[in-house]
Amino acid sequence: MHISQRVRLLTPALTLSVSARAKAMQNRGIDVCNFSAGRPEFDTPDHIKAAAQRALDEGKTKYGPVGGEPELREVIAHKLRTENGLAYTAENVAVNNGAKHALFNLMMVLLEPGDEVLIHAPYWLSFPEMVKLAGGVPVLIETDLASGYKFTPAELERAITPRTRLLIFNSPSNPSGAVFTPEEIRGIAKVIVDKKLLVVSDEIFEKIVYDGAEHVSIGSMSPEAFARTIVVSGFSKIYSMTGWRVGYMAGPVEIINAVISAQSHSTSNVCSFAQYGGVAAYTDERSSQCVEQMRQAYVQRRRAMMDLLADVPGLRCRMPEGTFYLFPYIGDTGMRSVEFCEALLESQKVAAVAGAVFGADDHIRLSFATDLEVIEKGMKRLASFVRSLS
């Protein structure tokens, strides 16, 4: 059977396959410590579920406007104005089937074949694949443990060529947990403006930050930066709503309208009643307490996992400033990430994601969005595994 070149060029999503293998082992009754999931395990807060149930009862069961329910677009614009200093109105917002779909739509709408897209590595694994699907060329800006997984304005400038169209910027960053400071972001914004690029800013983890780290949107740096920014976000991570598939983008009206036009021929509107869960997430006063409770749980789990990691010989890890991942460097073990993760799963029943999928083959990703018992047991197993290597 002929499969298009577009799809043959893709790298399969390995994070899903590790998770799937861990799940399959669990289903066979094997006691797996699963640190591979990309999502929080909390249930969606009750008041958000109730809002979607109400919307169902009220008959929000039909096709809706392609760009999103007007109420949700309004609420998102209000949130971005008041919390993020971004002067958007409802017409600057499009609701999509998750942040992932927002990003995919943007690549389809913004790229011509051969256009280069700058991506800082380690990166969220879908960024380069989406660029390729849209005919673009991903160009990596490498970062490492020593730089705290951050790049400088000078490094950004060096990566720019006449074909560069945009930067995909992700802070708080998945998988590294790095959060760029306002000063660092100001420097990056200046290059975007000077070089007349666009920046797609993936801010899906904005509220999952620690130790006083501050999330700032790159679009709030100056009116010139604002004009060149498209913010992408959603409800999946912060409100534990991964299965709802509600995300959004906000940016210049011209781009938003082009996205809505493309979306009208692919998925149409996002599930109508699910969008009312999004409205409740951003307007109900109970939300901030729920988010803070989940964040406090992550604070505790992050601490526990970091403390236990300190007992693992030969792994080095920065304290993440955001997200719910640790991203230890395994280079000192002499193993590459895929063989490391396979052996770890086989011998100790611990599931971790190989850094190779994020463009960092000398790292692994461990999610601490799981309970403390699993963290304690799994980290002991990881320590035995690493000791057994020497």
Residue numbers at the binding site for ligand PLP (CB under 6 A) = 38, 98-100, 124, 170, 174, 202, 204, 234, 236-237, 242, 247
Minimum separation from the CB atom of position 11 to ligand PLP (A): 17
Strand, helix or coil for residue 364: strand
The whole-angstrom separation of Cα 28 and Cα 44 is 28
The whole-angstrom separation of Cα 124 and Cα 121 is 8
Contacts of 38 (CB under 8 A, 6+ apart): 15, 19, 174, 367
DSSP conformation class of 322: B
Tokens (6 digits) for 260: 């809505």
User: Are 202 and 99 spatial neighbours (Cβ–Cβ below 8 Å)?
Assistant: yes
Minimum separation from the CB atom of position 243 to ligand PLP (A): 9
User: Are 135 and 288 spatial neighbours (Cβ–Cβ below 8 Å)?
Assistant: no
Closer to ligand PLP by Cβ: residue 100 or 301: 100
Calculate ∠ Cα 170-21-367, nearest 5°.
35
Tokens (6 digits) for 257: 């309208």
Minimum separation from the CB atom of position 101 to ligand PLP (A): 6
Closer to ligand PLP by Cβ: residue 88 or 358: 358
Closer to ligand PLP by Cβ: residue 22 or 193: 22
Minimum separation from the CB atom of position 226 to ligand PLP (A): 21
Phi, psi torsion values for 167, nearest 5 degrees: -115, 135
Burial of residue 13 (CB within 10 Å: 0-12, 13-18, 19+) is middle
Residue 353's alpha-carbon distances to 23, 81, 241, 268, 336, in angstroms, are 14, 36, 22, 33, 12
Minimum separation from the CB atom of position 235 to ligand PLP (A): 7
Closer to ligand PLP by Cβ: residue 248 or 273: 248
Minimum separation from the CB atom of position 38 to ligand PLP (A): 6
Closer to ligand PLP by Cβ: residue 349 or 365: 365
Nearest of 319, 285, 284 to residue 209 by alpha carbon: 319
Peptide bond into 313 cis (omega under 30): no
Residue 106's alpha-carbon distances to 15, 62, 157, 347, in angstroms, are 23, 26, 23, 42
Minimum separation from the CB atom of position 98 to ligand PLP (A): 3
Closer to ligand PLP by Cβ: residue 273 or 324: 324
Closer to ligand PLP by Cβ: residue 88 or 205: 205
Shortest Cβ contact with ligand PLP: which residue?
98
Minimum separation from the CB atom of position 239 to ligand PLP (A): 10
Closer to ligand PLP by Cβ: residue 124 or 180: 124
Minimum separation from the CB atom of position 233 to ligand PLP (A): 8
Closer to ligand PLP by Cβ: residue 173 or 348: 173
